[in-house]
Structure 1
Amino acid sequence: MIDGLIGIVAFIALVVVVARQNSRIGLLEREIGALRSFVLANPPAAVAKAEDEAAAAETVAAEVAPVETPAAEAAADTAETPEQAGPWAAAAMSAPAEEQSAADSRAEPDAVAVRPAASTPDIETALGTRWAIWVGGLALALGGLFLVRYSIEAGIFGPGARLTMAGLLGLLLAGGGEFVRRRGFKVPLEGAAGAYVPGVLTAAGAFTLFGAVYAAHGIYGFLGPAAAFLLLGVIGVATIAAALVHGQALAGLGLLGSMMTPALVSSQSPSAWTLFGYLAIVLVANTAIARLRSWDVLAAAGFACTGLWTLAYLFDSPSVDMIAVVAISVVTLGALALVWLRPGGEGDQAAWPAVVPAVFVALTAAVLMSAPEYQVLGGAAYGSALIFGMIVVAFYRPGAVSLLHAAGVATVLVNVKLALTGSFTLQLPGGDLSFEGFEASPFAAVLGQAGLVLAVLFLVDGIWGAWRAIASAPARAAAWTGWAVLVPLVVLASQWIAFGDLDRDLGYALAAVILTAAFVACGEILARRESPPLTGGLAVSFAFIGACVAAVLALHMSFGPLWTTVLTGALAVVPAVATRIRAYPVLGWLCVLVVVVVVGRIAVDPTIVGASLLGRTPVFNALLPGYLIPALAFAFAAWQLSRTTGGRPRLIMEAAAVLLALLTVAMLVRHAMNGGVINSGAPTLAEQAVYTLIALGAGAILVALDMRSPSSVLRIGSLVAGVASAAFVAFQHFLFLNPLITDESTGRIPVFNLLFLAYLLPGIAAGALAVYARGRRPRWYSAMLGLLAALLFFAYATLSIRRLFQGEHIAYWTGMSQLETYAYSALWLVMGVGLLVAGVRRRSQVLRIASAALIAVAVAKVFIFDMSELEGVLRALSFIGLGAVLIGIGLFYQKLLARSASAERAPDP
């Protein structure tokens, strides 16, 4: 034991001697560096002259120099500056010489300036400085523990003596660190701050003292819980305080030991006030020291440890003292606001550590308010008090805006949990969707009252805070406004769902109307205070978005599904008209928000009022106002926005108006053609034909509207309508719903039957749109529609022949007679000749190409099919007719070409 103490004392003395020698070596290196810089910065002649003068001066000094005394040595030591000393930083000591030779260097531009050597760490530096010090400190701490262990195994000393020696060793190490520091020790190498010997010695001493006190309590029972708790706390706080002169790492060690103390010391009757009182002292001391040294990480760590202890107490303690929990949370907020974020000195501290207490205090408040076992103890009131404290701190400390966000999130989550209590069933088009919510709580009414208080608190403080900050800090004002809007809306909606009548509740509707007016007034007040005023920034936008959402809630709370859909759609007119007096960018997007709500309602219930209440009356039912009035409102909003703010909201409103208009017609058709039933089943060919006609008509209308009032939405929408029509025809008319494949009845009327509706009318519409779009839309668009029309005419004529021979049902598997087979060939040849004549007269290459294609199909049919299927006179007539037509076409083209050649040879008049 004595040998160990002697070794430790010798080590400390060795450290002091090494520090002094480092100072002397540093002084010599600086002098050598100065001489080197002087030599390199001056010409050789000047150097020779300087050497002669220096030699003469040394001769004179040697003759008259007095004997150096110890006092002179002490003075020299005092004058030494150990900064940058060390064998690896010698070149860096030439800075004073460089300053002295700056004028000479400017006079001699060719002179070479000596720069300090780069402080790049190498393996020698790491091993010789940092690692040696760290391992040495760890060895000292472990050496003390091993010494105690050896004495135990050898039975040399009793437990009391061993613990006393361990305590003395810890004090000796801490005292050695302070002694070395007072001797003026500094890190001799730049970048090696981790090798600070006094700090390492003090940390080793604190480690040894922690271990000795814990052993005295937990192993031998020499100290009771109270004494051990007190001693460990004193050691931890003292270690944190010592960090003021030894660095942040030591403070971290002290904080870790302090926060582990409650876990190391157990008591038969634990007291919440003892625990949280101790944590409060450690937290305040840690925060104060972090504030003095601007140690962000240390401050955040202290807040995190306190928050973890609070949550651990809430979840693990059999009986919770609510006031003690609130007290430690208040101390946390006070340490943040009054110690860490207090103004003064060099300025406010960093704001990011405030996120840590914000998260933990908000979690504590949410747990107190939402957990039933804490609601019995008044958790709603205590949690609300904590949220109020967070808002107050955020209001008076701009750096604590994270408290506002955390408080808002906690309030929203608690109220959402209140709304999701019980089971829910949503009626969707594909069926009902049910899910189980949270378990009901007997204290829901108390939580509802607390929610109302918090809603008013957020509303008032949010508007006030935004009003104060909007001129100087728009982002912070937006944060205040956002929570002033969001929290009251969530509280109102959750309480309506939890306690109100979901069909109609005028009381909650009145509250929503009041909120709407309050948000509009708030937006106007903030807009007038903006810089420049009335620009409609983010804070103003949040206020008006809240007003729009509150108005939508009021409509849902006041009316049934039909009037809710109609009035919500009509609500889009209000912000559009408001753009006449205010140019806030958000007003156009409020119209878009209304579109989202209306489309969402229609997606959830396409029947508007429910399938059971829709009725079977065609056209004049709930579908007409439910779809058409929002479409008209969206069209008016788009028209109004085009004359005021314009931009993307106008385009979205135009698209929404077109979409709702098409849906109006489509839904009325589906309702009428399915006996008043709106389902998700596949349509019939007749119904699909109506949809195709609607799409083609919509394409023509959009082209006309775009010609009168150019718009990218109308232009793209017309192209989409045409392409959609082509897709309908290709997949539905020709493949999936073709009566030749489905054997669907074509009707008993000879001409005005299913074929007339599904093929002839769409063909006429496609051809008319192709002609109308020529020159107004891309060439491919008109060509696509022309080809579509030709295919529809071909299908109508062919299927009509089939119906003429087969009757009402024309399925392909019933076969065909020889006369029917010959009729197809004759029909296709006649149609080909007709297309050729039309193409020549209209000078349309598309029609001539279609003619050639159709005649080629007829030729292929005659040679491949008719030759094998037809017999007798029909086979002969088929070939004779084909030959006559082909010869006639050839003569026609020869005559046409001869006429063109003679016209080219004719001289000009």
Structure 2
Amino acid sequence: MADYLLIIILILAFMAFQAHLDIRALKRRVGVLEAGASARADDSAEREAASAAPTAEPAAEPEPASNVAQGPWMAAQARVAAGVGEERETGGGPGTEKRGFNWEHMLGVRLPVWGGAALLLFAAFLFASYAMEQGVFTPAVRVWACGAGAAIFLAAAFFARWRKIANWGRISGALAAVAIGLGYATCYLATAVFAFWPPLWGAAGSGLVGLVAIAIALVFGRLVLVLGLLGGYLAPVLLGELADGWTLLAYLTTVLVASHAVAGWRGWWTSALFSSGLALLWGAVWGFFIHNPRWDSGLDLTLWLLAIAMAPVAAELVARADERIAIMRRDGPVAAAGGSALMLILLGVEALPGAAFWPGFVAWMAFLAIASVLRPRRMDLAGVAMGGFVVALVLWRDPEPGVRLGVLIPALPIVLGAAVIHIAAGRAQRIWASAGVAILMVSVLSSLVDFDGWAGARDVPQIWAILCVGLAVAIVAILVALRGTSTSRQIAPPLAAGASGLASVAIGLVVEPGYYALSAALQVAGLGLVFWRYRVRTLLYLAMVYVAGYLGLIALGHGVATEFAGDITSWPYGRFIPVLALDDAPWQTLIVPGVALVTGATLFALAVRDRLVAVIDFAGLLVLALGVHLAIAPLAGADPVRTVFVFGPLWFPLHLGTAAAALWVASRFGRQGLYWGGSIIAVLAGLALVRLVVVPVTDFWPRMEIAGIAIFNLATVTLVLASGLLVVIGRLIKPTGGEAGRWAGIGFQALGGVTAFVWMLVTIRHGFHPDLLQGETLRVERYGYTGGMLAFAFGLLWLGTARDAQAIRIASLAVALATVGKLFVFDMGGLEGLWRIGSFLGLGLALLGVSWFYARFVFGVGGRHGQEGGAAGEASASPA
């Protein structure tokens, strides 16, 4: 009995809190209405004052007789009860008023009602406890006395309402709540305490009390409805199970339908949502704790879940026509339909073939689709059906092909038919077209994996490719048939995107069966083409989704292929993972997708300038460069320094050429993504050149394989092209990157000069030692290096003079001085006596000659204009 008392107290506390919330909402609504009425009255008064004569004086407004007769305190209470605050009367505007909470009214009028109801229940509990301790009454008398008390309180509630006593609304509701509580207590005493009734009788009696509470809620308010819902849904759990599933189904359906009928009639959509929530909880208990899907067909449980989805929509049929749609009215059916669908799917996944859950799921989709068509304001129900269908396809792993076809064949016409009907009626055409295309794509892709898996897709990719092409052709035919209509302008972008996606899947199946990453990248190019045609920004966002999907798939597939040795098809979604290492198939995984991404970004860039386009550019360029690297990398072998002129003729020109092309397009068309991508590729290629060529050559000499003869060899192809491209990259990167770009450009051009210098050294070495550049360095070879350095210095001098580039002339001077020093210090280092003296004499004369050459040909200092020419030379030598 103590537990029973605690339950009663908690219920009454909840009822009081709910009443407080309802009163607050009512006050807010009354305040809004009065503010609107006051604003209209003020406008009318202003118009009358403007039209009246200037000398006319306004007549004094008589004070309301009711307020005069009742006194100021009663007038203030009347204003508070009507929702008008004291601030409103003292002149506060409707936008700035803030009505205070009247604690006196709460303590004097509202709380005593529910406090009295709680005390009445407590008194009944004390009387029953005393009677049991003293043995005054027999168990049967106690039970019937409790039932008689329930009837008396219910009669008192009707009497209070009939007589319209003061505060009759709250008092009658409280008395009715006490009556319902005593009714539940009667069933509890008769069943659980005294075992006077069998459990079936107790459950039936509690259900009857709940139905009575739901019925009288039309008269006594929503709190009685909530109490009836709690007791009605909990009765089978607390007081014993019903006879079988069909009896339980009939009972719960009665409670559900009755509660929604009352809620729809009175507009209590919050209570309707509460009833749906309790019904879903019952469905979960029934489905996952009572029902056994492996031996029961589950038809009764399926019908219960369908009833949960249907009842909120049907409740709108009994709603008053003048009722305004509230938020709970919009969201309640969605929540109920979504919850029932999720349970149907989860139960269907675990059930054996022949269970009723998947047919019930199809019936669920059909009901929502039909309801959305018959009641257009409930279009969101068709969206719920589509969402549930997608969830089912994602969660439904390893299904029987026959069962899957049995769901797909009726489900696709249902959801797509609803979309077509809404489009034909002109309702949110682009949204429904997008939803229909998405449903079709998910169905095709999930079926491709679930029906055949990877092995099947690789065995017969042509069949799936033909199916995708056929669907794409059908979509294009629809676009052609609707061309020029207003409907076509709305549905063409999503339909064209869907056709492009299907074509991408078909191409991916032919190139690499089942490799969804390639299809995702190709779809970016397709979306770019559609965007270029229709200019719908949503397509750009969708392209970003595909870019992210592509990057995620290649990363996951490569990680699984290289790090995981087991069979991933046993994973929940293992069949969707494309297990393919990047270096095993760089063309399919990186090169073709990279080209597709850059192509898609180019098509987007033709129509719009956006940072998202730059992201696609950047990702596509780096993916392409990585694919080229992995395609050429096997040629490097274990020692990339030795084979640098084997793979280098392809690797360096391709990477540096890609970077140069990207930087040129960026400077010409403002493609910032290409600028940053090209800069990164150029830096990485330059570092690779230093690491594999420049630094090893300083060891004089590493082992390097060079095919060809002196000058006409692969080293010339590698280093000359690399040097020229580095100079071009330096020129392209300077004007775009600001001060940092200027220094980066100088660095690239300097590296290009160093590369050319290294080419000269390697060429001379290869002429003397063609076998891996190995062998003793002869004196004539050293003089060859000196001659080559001198020629290089004069070449730089000529180039710097012709282009008026001081940096190049300074570099030529440094090379010339280094050449002279090498000649007389190292090449002639073995001379002795007069030869040694003559070498130093020659070194001095050579340095004087270098000075004369620069003064005469660089700075223009002539013999007849010594003073003037010297001044001019100093001026030209000074930096700007």
Alignment of 1:203 onto 2:145: no
Tell me which of 377, 380, 386 is aligned to 2:355.
Answer: 377
Conservation of the 8 A alpha-carbon contact between 2:517 and 2:589? yes
Tell me which of 244, 251, 266 is aligned to 1:278.
Answer: 251
- Map of 2:42 onto structure 1: none
Cα distance change of structure 1 residues 151 and 497 upon mapping to structure 2, 3 Å threshold: same
Conservation of the 8 A alpha-carbon contact between 2:475 and 2:499? yes
Tell me which of 785, 789, 798 is aligned to 2:752.
Answer: 789
Pairing 1:685-764 to 2, within 5 Å after superposition: 685-686=644-645, 687-688=647-648, 690-701=650-661, 710-713=668-671, 717=674, 720-721=677-678, 724-734=681-691, 738-740=695-697, 743-747=702-706, 751=711, 756=716, 758-764=718-724
Distance 2:721 2:214 in 1: 90
> Whose radius of gyration is greater, 1 or 2?
1
- Map of 1:289 onto structure 2: 262
More deviation in 208-217 or 172-181? Answer: 172-181
Distance 2:319 2:767 in 1: 96
Conservation of the 8 A alpha-carbon contact between 1:342 and 1:348? no
Distance 1:791 1:446 in 2: 70
- Map of 2:120 onto structure 1: 140
Tell me which of 294, 307, 321 is aligned to 1:331.
Answer: 307
Cα distance change of structure 1 residues 754 and 486 upon mapping to structure 2, 3 Å threshold: closer
Conservation of the 8 A alpha-carbon contact between 1:214 and 1:228? yes
Contiguous gaps of at least 5 residues in structure 2: 1-59, 559-584, 862-866, 876-880
Q: Which amino acid aligns with 2:748?
A: L
Pairing 1:439-518 to 2, within 5 Å after superposition: 443-468=400-425, 471-474=426-429, 477-478=432-433, 481-482=436-437, 485-486=440-441, 488-490=443-445, 492-494=447-449, 496-497=451-452, 502-504=458-460, 508-518=464-474
Conservation of the 8 A alpha-carbon contact between 2:187 and 2:205? yes
Alignment of 1:363 onto 2:342: yes
Provide the secondary structure at the position in 2 that maps to 1:223: coil
1:460-490 C-alpha deviation (Å, 9 max, x unpaired): 333223322xx24447634763565346435
Provide the secondary structure at the position in 2 that maps to 1:351: helix
Cα distance change of structure 1 residues 220 and 692 upon mapping to structure 2, 3 Å threshold: same
Tell me which of 476, 479, 486 is aligned to 1:520.
Answer: 476
Distance 2:657 2:176 in 1: 88
Q: CA deviation at 1:666?
A: 6.0
1:882-902 C-alpha deviation (Å, 9 max, x unpaired): 876766666777774855565
Provide the secondary structure at the position in 2 that maps to 1:212: helix
Distance 1:302 1:764 in 2: 77
Q: Which amino acid aligns with 1:272?
A: G
Cα distance change of structure 1 residues 628 and 822 upon mapping to structure 2, 3 Å threshold: closer
Cα distance change of structure 1 residues 454 and 211 upon mapping to structure 2, 3 Å threshold: same
Cα distance change of structure 1 residues 217 and 654 upon mapping to structure 2, 3 Å threshold: closer
Q: Which amino acid aligns with 1:789?
A: G
Q: Which amino acid aligns with 2:496?
A: F
Conservation of the 8 A alpha-carbon contact between 1:391 and 1:403? yes
Conservation of the 8 A alpha-carbon contact between 2:190 and 2:196? yes
TM-score scaled by length of structure 2: 0.68
- Map of 2:364 onto structure 1: 386
1:55-82 C-alpha deviation (Å, 9 max, x unpaired): xxxxxxxxxxxxxxxxxxxxx99x9999
Q: CA deviation at 1:255?
A: 0.8
1:303-333 C-alpha deviation (Å, 9 max, x unpaired): 1222222232222234646332233234334
Tell me which of 261, 272, 292 is aligned to 1:299.
Answer: 272
Distance 2:164 2:374 in 1: 43
Distance 1:300 1:395 in 2: 23
Q: CA deviation at 1:225?
A: 3.2
Distance 1:386 1:699 in 2: 56
Q: CA deviation at 1:216?
A: 0.9
Pairing 1:797-876 to 2, within 5 Å after superposition: 835=796, 838-840=799-801, 842-850=803-811
Distance 1:363 1:378 in 2: 15
Provide the secondary structure at the position in 2 that maps to 1:545: helix
Q: Which amino acid aligns with 2:330?
A: A
Q: CA deviation at 1:285?
A: 1.3
- Map of 1:44 onto structure 2: none
Cα distance change of structure 1 residues 785 and 137 upon mapping to structure 2, 3 Å threshold: same
Q: Percent identity?
A: 20
Conservation of the 8 A alpha-carbon contact between 1:805 and 1:820? yes
Distance 2:344 2:150 in 1: 42
Cα distance change of structure 1 residues 186 and 496 upon mapping to structure 2, 3 Å threshold: farther
More deviation in 141-150 or 400-409? Answer: 400-409
Conservation of the 8 A alpha-carbon contact between 2:496 and 2:530? no
- Map of 1:229 onto structure 2: 203
1:849-878 C-alpha deviation (Å, 9 max, x unpaired): 54577789999999xx99xx9998999999
Distance 1:513 1:261 in 2: 58
Provide the secondary structure at the position in 1 that maps to 2:341: helix
Conservation of the 8 A alpha-carbon contact between 1:512 and 1:550? yes
Conservation of the 8 A alpha-carbon contact between 1:627 and 1:660? yes
Distance 2:105 2:776 in 1: 98
1:745-788 C-alpha deviation (Å, 9 max, x unpaired): 25485555675455454224323555688889977264343222
Conservation of the 8 A alpha-carbon contact between 1:458 and 1:487? no
Q: CA deviation at 1:290?
A: 1.2
Cα distance change of structure 1 residues 525 and 307 upon mapping to structure 2, 3 Å threshold: farther
Contiguous gaps of at least 5 residues in structure 1: 1-49, 55-75, 103-111, 422-440, 607-621
Distance 2:520 2:201 in 1: 70
Distance 2:208 2:632 in 1: 84
Cα distance change of structure 1 residues 576 and 270 upon mapping to structure 2, 3 Å threshold: same
Q: Which amino acid aligns with 1:209?
A: G
TM-score scaled by length of structure 1: 0.66
Cα distance change of structure 1 residues 160 and 383 upon mapping to structure 2, 3 Å threshold: same
- Map of 1:408 onto structure 2: 386
Distance 2:248 2:69 in 1: 50
Q: Which amino acid aligns with 1:338?
A: A
Q: Which amino acid aligns with 1:284?
A: V
Distance 1:580 1:720 in 2: 23
Conservation of the 8 A alpha-carbon contact between 2:665 and 2:674? no
Conservation of the 8 A alpha-carbon contact between 1:365 and 1:384? no
Provide the secondary structure at the position in 1 that maps to 2:197: coil
Tell me which of 191, 194, 198 is aligned to 1:217.
Answer: 191
1:535-593 C-alpha deviation (Å, 9 max, x unpaired): 2x3x4433333333333444556777599999999999988888999777789999999
Cα distance change of structure 1 residues 858 and 892 upon mapping to structure 2, 3 Å threshold: closer
Cα distance change of structure 1 residues 178 and 702 upon mapping to structure 2, 3 Å threshold: same
Conservation of the 8 A alpha-carbon contact between 2:505 and 2:519? no
Distance 2:83 2:518 in 1: 85
Q: CA deviation at 1:362?
A: 0.9
Tell me which of 97, 100, 111 is aligned to 1:120.
Answer: 100
Alignment of 1:541 onto 2:493: yes
1:382-411 C-alpha deviation (Å, 9 max, x unpaired): 432333233222332334444434433443
Conservation of the 8 A alpha-carbon contact between 1:504 and 1:557? no
RMSD over equivalenced CA pairs, Å: 6.0
Distance 1:343 1:479 in 2: 33
1:682-704 C-alpha deviation (Å, 9 max, x unpaired): 99523245322223333555577
